[in-house]
Amino acid sequence: MGIIIKSDREIAVMRQAGRIVATILKALAKQVRPGMKTKELDAIAAKELERLGAKPSFKGYQGFPANLCVSVNDEIVHGIPGERVLREGDIISLDLGAIFNGFQGDAAITVGVGEISLPARQLLETTEGALNAGIAAAYPKAKLGDISAAIQNHAESRGYSVVREYTGHGIGQEMHEEPQIPNFGLPGTGPVLKKGMTLAIEPMVNAGDWHTRLSDNHWTVFTADGSLSAHFEHTIAITDGEPEVLTIA
């Protein structure tokens, strides 16, 4: 199939999908508080998606049961919202995908529940910084490996590890298109970036080592060593010049 190049018109629709995702994540971040059940966040996401005329990307995807992935503390990604009660000091990753007029937007943030520890705050800052470093490498004529390497260098130079078994991805009419975007790699390798490529870049950064463990529910991915993990994601478009972040409110 190869990497699908989007027209300006298609990217305009993806901008709308992206805005919906970003708007909802922002609203969710404001709602997060100690004592809340993670399923309450999923209910808000469902209601907001409907209000904004979008459909959830994740619900029903390979049987995933919710609109939103909610991953707490040592959960890396794909946490299923449910009865878990958030506690002061937890960190919580919120990953949301929306379909609007046939196109997808996908983004994730990690936020603190109430006051969080300094190490937790530094992990969040580093992971968001790694995402920004990856985006800053996403120029036409650069290579995909430049994005991967920028993410890896940002995280590892600060003493963290990047998850290797899960990657970013191309995105468009499908949530997962080519190419896969690893969060580690060598600069100057991989496909050349071209205007019209739309990519979901999503570093998952662990305070400990990068190995993962899959939960018995076959969805939730944990750090193997029980260390904290954070996740930030944006959907972006490669342009003639600066990369455009599509998942922005």
Residues that bind Mg ion (CB under 5 A): 106, 200
**Least distance between Mg ion and beta carbon 83 (Å):** 25
Is 110 or 116 the residue whose CB approaches Mg ion more closely?
A: 110
**Least distance between Mg ion and beta carbon 106 (Å):** 4
What's the Rg (C-alpha) of the chain? 17
Task: Select from 3, 15, 30 the least CA-distant residue to 170.
Answer: 3
Task: Select from 201, 197, 200, 192 the least CA-distant residue to 237.
Answer: 197
Is 98 or 200 the residue whose CB approaches Mg ion more closely?
A: 200
Torsion sign over Cα 109, 111, 117, 122: positive
**Least distance between Mg ion and beta carbon 168 (Å):** 6
Is 116 or 219 the residue whose CB approaches Mg ion more closely?
A: 219
Helix or strand holding residue 76 (H, E): strand 75-77
Q: CA-to-CA distance for 38 and 58, rounded, in angstroms?
A: 16
**Least distance between Mg ion and beta carbon 118 (Å):** 29
CB atoms within 10 A of CB 84: 17
Is 21 or 32 the residue whose CB approaches Mg ion more closely?
A: 21
